[in-house]
Amino acid sequence: MNLQPIADFIRYLRFTDGLSSSDVIGWILAALAGIIAYRLIDNMQMSIERHNMLSTIEDAVSSLYDSQIAFSVPKGQTLSEDNAKECRVMVRAVLHDFSDWQTIMSPENPKERDTKIIEHQRYIHIRKDAGYDEWISTQALHEITLKMRRIEKMFKSGIVKRIDLSDMFREIIPLGMSGRLEFFRSYYGEYDAECMAYIVMQAVVSCDKYQNHDIVNEFARYYNTHEEIRPLFSKNRRILRFRDESAIRTFRKLMENQENR
């Protein structure tokens, strides 16, 4: 048996007289182990950072909705400094679906919205003729749009995943219903309304992916009976070409399926 090729191979692997092939293989294995360990630690750190950032935005949204910067005034009463304390409610209390938000103009000046300054903060009239007159702070409106823009950026950068949007459906999808999209569009304009519509659309698609069909059907029923909000979804400048194509197709299919029932 010719052992010369084996001897030549061993000599080829020997860089110096003191470095054997087993040393080379050992170094290679050690390097691979180091790379794997580094990737595991890096992924763990990235996961921790993602969860921290997600927890921060979730806590911020929850804190905003729990803030008592809204009023629900019984019929027959007028909101004032005198009854503000007893009529004060959390923001989430005026996010119900019993009636739509409205654009209510001032009785004194029909060209301006009906607003009041209570305890150094401006409140805007969003419901009347529904058993209660309801008001919300303009600060709350501003923070809602700000936080939706933050969620949009985190979703597009991959920090917020679809499972996260599905889990946050109670905080996101109601903003697309009960006249709220229409209200934000009339109050802030198309730019902010499109941001809200974009993240609502992505949340609806995410809920469908994770089998949360009740809220998908509820939103679809609203969408199909309110044609005025459809352009916010079909002509939305926030939509990313190519990346969002699949989500757009899924969203349209969900809306069409509900409409055909």
Which position has the token pair 């949340």?
203
- Whose structure tokens read 């939305």? 236
Per-residue pLDDT for the chain (261 aa), expressed as one digit of tens each? Answer: 555 655 655 555 554 455 555 555 666 666 666 667 546 554 566 667 788 888 899 999 999 999 999 999 998 899 999 999 999 999 999 999 889 999 999 989 989 999 999 999 999 999 997 788 999 999 999 999 999 999 999 999 999 999 999 999 999 999 999 999 999 999 999 999 999 999 999 999 999 999 999 999 999 999 999 999 999 998 899 999 889 999 999 999 999 987 665
- Give me the long-range contacts of 245-249 (CB less than 8 A, separation at least 24): 247/201, 247/202, 247/205, 248/201
Provide CB contacts within 8 A for 117, sequence distance 6+.
123
- Which single residue is written with the structure tokens 């005026």? 94
For 140, residues 6+ apart whose C-beta sits below 8 A from its C-beta are 64, 67, 69, 70, 91
Quick one: pLDDT at residue 48?
Answer: 74
Q: Which residues of 104-143 are buried (b: 16+ CB within 10 A; e: fewer)?
A: beeeeeeeeebebebeeeebbbbbbeeebbbbbbeebbeb
Residue 42: predicted pLDDT:
46
pLDDT digits (tens, 9 = 90+) for 99-108: 999 999 998 9
pLDDT tens figures, 43-64: 566 667 788 888 899 999 999 9
Percent of the chain scoring above 70 in pLDDT: 80
pLDDT of residue 50: 80
Residue 89 tokens read as 């409610």
Closest to 90 (Cα-Cα) out of 47, 51, 61, 54: 61
CA distance 196 to 151: 10
The secondary structure element, H or E, covering residue 59 is: helix 21-66
Q: What are the structural domain ranges in the chain?
A: 70-137, 139-259
